Chains A and B, each alone.
Chain A
């Protein structure tokens, strides 16, 4: 057994919550993968006679104002929300890591300019910026992904910059250069893999944030539109019925959001303990 794996087992034994979170996350990913086969009803099929039914044996999570089965909608939404978050984070990670490490590797004026631009972007209220972007680009799922990726980008650039900056003077970088690697090869083949473990922690923690962002946008009516099943929009539709006491419209998608973000955050914390015990707080 490799040392890292042994360390991981040790961490999970010391902090069983991480193990639970990993199980929870696998459960969610399983649901997302097999969504079309496990949802008991069609998530879009309305049945007005069955509108606003509380949870029962037939409808475990009740029905919404159009009589759609909430559990089926939750399952379909798991797939959509995880896909949105994963693609957004993937896009910003790839672009951010490349820009950040090139900038950090080059140093000097280029690095200062990149740093300034990142500062400018971080001076924006980022959620508001995402709102404006979706409004400009149009209410479509791709645009939520673009907006979420865009507001995550400065964090990745800054992170990769800092990490590469620390390592650029290291002996193995010089060795790679001495072996005849071009600058591009050094960045892509030596430096990027080296900062990857630290970035994985960042990615995991970021996924939870991306889900909150995407759901927040849909809650406001930006991005995913009406009949589609998505957690944020389900909460927004259910909000109208909370005053008349139909709690299940909000409670279940809300709990799904919370559970997902919690799992990502706990797994992220656990990964940080595995990969970099110094950063524990």
Chain B
């Protein structure tokens, strides 16, 4: 119980500490929006040939005639009430659009992260157990390659091999197969929704759509995860308590997993947080290659159409997710290693 309270306390303190960063992001996006080319008043004035008076009127309605700090206060108020403006391309409020598309991005990113971790942890541990062997070099080689191939190239290569040549992957566009009806939107995560409804046929089809993009992304982040696991595991395996555990006659499995891996996990958790935020950015590229209807491709389309409200919403969303991820990482610290919270 005490440990839980310490962790909660620690997390709350970290959350407070991240508020200045979030405020900074808000101020920056606000200034960025003001620098952007194009006069919103001209755009929103209904008639393309609107006279100067009409534009002036519009400017007043939009609050653009006020001094900058006042505008910023309005901006903060809008954001606090969840009003991120309206997308000019889709005609919908940005919040609605983002909420609609976020599950697709989350499903892709989380699947990729799980995939990468389930490969990187065993590979890293194995490489640390047999350093200098062929296995170690092979892991290092795969990792060095993975980090060098841009996601948009590896995605296209996977499409070429598995769809064009082998024909075992489905048409690489979107989240749903051509003949599948979307499930009722419960969570928005297709894999979860199809399971709830009990439609296993469509579940498999959605999974097969997901595999290629998720592998593309997993390949890209495999290297930092495996490398960190190896390095940290090597350091732990060389320490005294491991030798003691061995000499006490504990099983090899117990020594490596319970004593070794748990102690080696802390830096891996840190790097996982960093990797997750890199993936949020890399999402844009992968979503573009696979025509994945996530927030990244939404922001990109808006950006290319000079429609800036969605871009701003996207940046804010990503920054908030980033802060959330950091908080989770801090909480996981406390669980993985109780010593961290005792300061």
Contact = CB atoms under 8 A, between A and B. Distances in A.
A123 B280 CA distance: 12
Given A132-B303, A258-B145, A265-B148, A242 B20 contact: no
A131 B284 contact: yes
A212 B150 contact: yes
B144 A125 contact: no
B220 to A, nearest CB: 10
Interface in A222-281: 222, 232, 235-236, 238-239, 242-243, 245, 247, 250-251, 254, 257-259, 261-262, 265-266, 281
Contact of B150 (A125, A129, A242, A257): A257
B319 A124 contact: yes
A236 B151 CA distance: 12
Q: 6 smallest A-B Cβ distances: which pairs?
A: A120-B24, A127-B281, A254-B153, A281-B231, A125-B281, A261-B148
Given A243-B163, A257-B153, A128 B144 contact: no
A242 B285 CA distance: 17
Contacts of B280: 125, 128
B284 A128 contact: yes
A228 B156 CA distance: 22
A236 B152 CA distance: 8
A69 B151 CA distance: 25
22 contacts: A120-B21, A123-B18, A124-B25, A125-B281, A128-B281, A129-B315, A131-B284, A135-B311, A136-B36, A136-B37, A208-B148, A219-B288, A235-B150, A235-B152, A239-B156, A250-B153, A257-B153, A258-B145, A259-B148, A261-B147, A261-B148, A265-B147
Contact of B282 (A127, A235, A242): A127
B120 to A, nearest CB: 14
Nearest to B149: A258
A245 B166 CA distance: 12
A279 to B, nearest CB: 10
A174 interface: no
B167 to A, nearest CB: 12
B230, B277, B306: most-surrounded residue (chain A CB, <10 A): B277
A210 interface: no
Grouping DSSP codes into helix (H, G, I), strand (E, B) and loop, the B interface class, with mixed when no group exceeds half, is helix
Contacts of A281: 227-228, 230-231
Contacts of A55: none
B315 A124 contact: yes
B323 interface: yes
Interface string B291-333: 0000000011001101000010011001100110000000000
Given A123-B24, A219-B285, A254-B150, 17 more contacts: A116-B21, A123-B22, A123-B319, A125-B280, A125-B315, A126-B281, A131-B299, A238-B156, A239-B152, A247-B160, A250-B156, A254-B149, A254-B153, A259-B148, A261-B148, A262-B144, A281-B227
Contacts of B318: 124-125, 128
B164 interface: yes
Contacts of A212: 150
Given A220-B285, A250-B153, A254-B149, A243 B164 contact: yes
A119 interface: yes
Interface residues on A, range: 35 or more
A100 interface: no
Contact of B144 (A126, A220, A239, A266): A266
Interface string B265-296: 00000000000010011101100110000000
Contacts of A242: 156, 159-160, 164
Interface in A196-235: 208, 212, 215-216, 219-222, 232, 235
A234 to B, nearest CB: 11
A276 to B, nearest CB: 15
B80 interface: no
Nearest to B153: A254
Contacts, number: 131
A151 to B, nearest CB: 10
B74 interface: no
Contact of B157 (A117, A119, A232, A254): A254
Contacts of B227: 281
B35 interface: yes
B145 A235 contact: no
Contacts of A222: 303-304
Residue among A120, A257, A259 facing the most chain B CB atoms (10 A cut-off): A120
Contacts of B277: 125
A128 B303 CA distance: 10
Interface string A127-162: 111011001100000000000000000000000000
B150 A216 contact: yes
Nearest to A120: B24
A212 to B, nearest CB: 5
A132 B36 CA distance: 10
Contacts of A262: 144-145, 148
Contact of B315 (A119, A132, A236): A132
B149 A221 contact: no
A177 B124 CA distance: 48
B311 A258 contact: no
B315 A128 contact: yes
A259 B227 CA distance: 20
Interface string B26-70: 001000100111000000000000000000000000000000000
Nearest to A249: B156
A126 B36 CA distance: 18
A243 B165 CA distance: 10
Interface string B226-247: 0110110000000000000000
